[in-house]
Amino acid sequence: MTEASLATQPALIAAAVSLIERQRHQEAAEALRAALARAPDDAEIWNALGLCARELGQHRAALTLCRRAIALAPDLPGAWSNIGLLYRELRMPETAIACLERAVELQPRERGHHHNLGVAHAAAVRHQEAVAAFDRALLLAPDNPQTTYARALCHLALGDFRRGWAGYQARFAAGIVPVRQLPGRPWTGRPYGGQRLLVAFEQGLGDGIWAARCLAIAKSRGGELIVECPDTLMPLLATMGVVDRFVSYRQAVPDADWHCHLCGLPALFFPDTPESQPVRYLHGSASRGDKFRALRGTPSHLVKVGIVWSGNPRFKRNGHRATSLQRFTDAFAMPGVQLFSLQKGAPAAELEGHPGVIDLAPMLDDFADTAAAVDQLDLVIMTDTAVAHLAGALGKPVWVLLGYDPAWFWQTARNDSPWYPTLRLFRPRGSDDWTGVFDAATAELMRLVHERGRL
């Protein structure tokens, strides 16, 4: 902000800054527009408006606003940083990197620019370069939890688990996982015979299914094991036979001698490598199999393929990993194959124009139902959602079609997973390369059908 604009409208600017800090970006934008009317050539105000538009998901408007800020002040580092983050969200990581390198050049002692550059490198699947940028940011602010956590995810994606787990603990201080007052002392994996351990749920459903592989080990080290989780996961995790008591997520938890968080367990039990994983650690319920007569009645010459094309649309990054049902039917509705939809939620409405796909969603009340359905399929093909973790945990063949900037679980430059021996990954060749992903998966499905003598 220029001194002149600060002098003429301090109240408006202060109000806008306060609103931005409280994530009230729509109201902040209104205050900034009022300030802009008094100082139309103030690049800082244009840049702040661009930030608000970006946070509100108004990417095209944000691009115009940020470009205006740069036109007015080409050496304004904050504008280059802001537009770099915007290009990252527009899935233009190379442009994002170029912008953020300019911000670093203009203001090399600002931690945030190095952090944002690391984020852009990670989005470009350049995790080594991202780690280097995060290292530079941490030299300037050694205790910053956001940068520590972001670097940890890059280490995990690179398979450097010991370094990754060390920084993964910063997810609490970084605000990724809410800090809660839990009963008992933090558990570090020690025996707890005759005592009670509470495992608290965190993050998403897929994360929970991934970390559930550790519950049997946790139970083997002590007395009573209590697990907090969403109701939709309880019947599924109960099939493991190791949990003494379940508690609904975000309800009151009982007293305990020890506590830990679910996604912290892999760091305790697999500190260096996850390669020695069980092929299967979850099971479908035989009693629920009767719900899926449509699967049992499928002609024997058809390969039964389950499909999921979207995660939760409310998840901020769902657009990076989701695609359309039309792509799936164009690719996989081939002779010798019967498609079954496991898709839940609003994206399932796309089935209306695809009568050849059998919809199982009305029978899927929880993840135990989904497990029973998956158990009767030959293969699941899907984007990166919780069902990918479920199918992998069930030891079923599952092909995961990845977007360009996948979750750290799937690491880099490999088509298999150390977490799930029966899972195969199909990676894009570049940003938004769904065509290449589907091309590779379609060819593989054709080969599979041919090898089984069904085409």
Residue 289 binned pLDDT confidence (cut-offs 50, 70, 90)? confident
Q: pLDDT tens digit string along 168-221?
A: 999 999 999 999 999 999 999 999 999 999 999 999 999 999 999 999 999 999
Do 280 and 394 contact (CB within 8 A), yes or no?
A: yes
Of 268, 157, 143, 184, residue with least CA distance to 218: 268
Please report which helix (H) or strand (E) contains residue 359, including its range: strand 358-359
Domain boundary among 269, 301, 323: 269
Question: How many other C-beta atoms are found inside a 10 Å radius of the C-beta of residue 318?
Answer: 17
Burial 166-189, CB ≥16 within 10 A → b, else e: bbbbbbbebebbeeeebebeebeb
Q: Write out the residue range of the structural domain in which residue 216 sits.
A: 185-269
Residue 180 domain-assigned (yes or no): no
Residues 102 and 208 in one domain: no
At 385 the three-state DSSP class reads coil
**Whole-angstrom distance, CA of residue 206 vs CA of residue 397:** 17
Residues in the chain: 455
- Residue 316's pLDDT is 72
Helices 145-157, 161-168: axis angle to 10 degrees equals 150
**Whole-angstrom distance, CA of residue 28 vs CA of residue 10:** 14
Of 239, 200, 265, residue with least CA distance to 366: 239
Do 130 and 122 contact (CB within 8 A), yes or no?
A: yes
Do 338 and 298 contact (CB within 8 A), yes or no?
A: yes
- Residue 161's pLDDT is 95
Residue 8 binned pLDDT confidence (cut-offs 50, 70, 90)? very low
Residues 359 and 429 in one domain: yes
Residue 202 domain-assigned (yes or no): yes
CATH number at residue 151: 1.25.40.10
Residue 108 domain-assigned (yes or no): yes
Residues 361 and 327 in one domain: yes
- List C-alpha distances in Å: 213 to 62, 153, 220, 258, 371: 43, 20, 13, 19, 15
Task: Report the side by side order of strands in the sheet with 358-359.
Answer: 358-359, 337-341, 303-308, 379-383, 398-401, 423-426
Domain boundary among 149, 171, 193: 171
Question: How many other C-beta atoms are found inside a 10 Å radius of the C-beta of residue 269?
Answer: 14
For tokens 């899907």, name the residue. 382
CATH number at residue 247: 3.40.50
Which residues, other chains included, contact 23 with Cβ-Cβ below 8 Å and sequence gap of 6+?
A: 55
Question: How many other C-beta atoms are found inside a 10 Å radius of the C-beta of residue 143?
Answer: 9
Q: Which phi and psi (to 5°) does residue 344 adopt?
A: -115, 165
CATH number at residue 298: 3.40.50.2000
Residues 259 and 291 in one domain: no
**Whole-angstrom distance, CA of residue 164 vs CA of residue 151:** 8
Residue 5 binned pLDDT confidence (cut-offs 50, 70, 90)? very low
Helices 43-55, 25-38: axis angle to 10 degrees equals 160
pLDDT surpassing 80 at residue 45 = yes
The alpha carbons of the chain give a radius of gyration, in whole angstroms, of 25
pLDDT surpassing 60 at residue 439 = yes
Residue 178 domain-assigned (yes or no): no
Domain boundary among 148, 171, 194: 171
pTM here is 0.91
Residue 274 domain-assigned (yes or no): no
- List C-alpha distances in Å: 76 to 8, 67, 83, 178, 208: 21, 11, 11, 35, 43
Q: pLDDT tens digit string along 102-117?
A: 999 999 999 999 999 9
Residues 133 and 233 in one domain: no
Residues 120 and 153 in one domain: yes
Type of residue at 175: G
Q: Structural domain tally of the chain? A: 3
Residues 165 and 210 in one domain: no
Q: pLDDT tens digit string along 380-408?
A: 999 999 999 999 999 999 999 998 889 99
At 58 the three-state DSSP class reads coil
Residue 318 binned pLDDT confidence (cut-offs 50, 70, 90)? confident
Residues 83 and 129 in one domain: yes
Q: Which phi and psi (to 5°) does residue 187 adopt?
A: -90, 135
pLDDT surpassing 80 at residue 240 = yes
Residues 167 and 204 in one domain: no
Residue 309 domain-assigned (yes or no): yes
Residue 2 binned pLDDT confidence (cut-offs 50, 70, 90)? very low
Residues 404 and 309 in one domain: yes
Residues 199 and 252 in one domain: yes
What percentage of the chain carries pLDDT values higher than 70?
Answer: 97
Q: Is 336 exposed, middle or buried (0-12, 13-18, 19+ CB in 10 A)?
A: middle
Residue 277 domain-assigned (yes or no): no
Residue 275 domain-assigned (yes or no): no
DSSP code at position 252:
P
Residues 227 and 165 in one domain: no
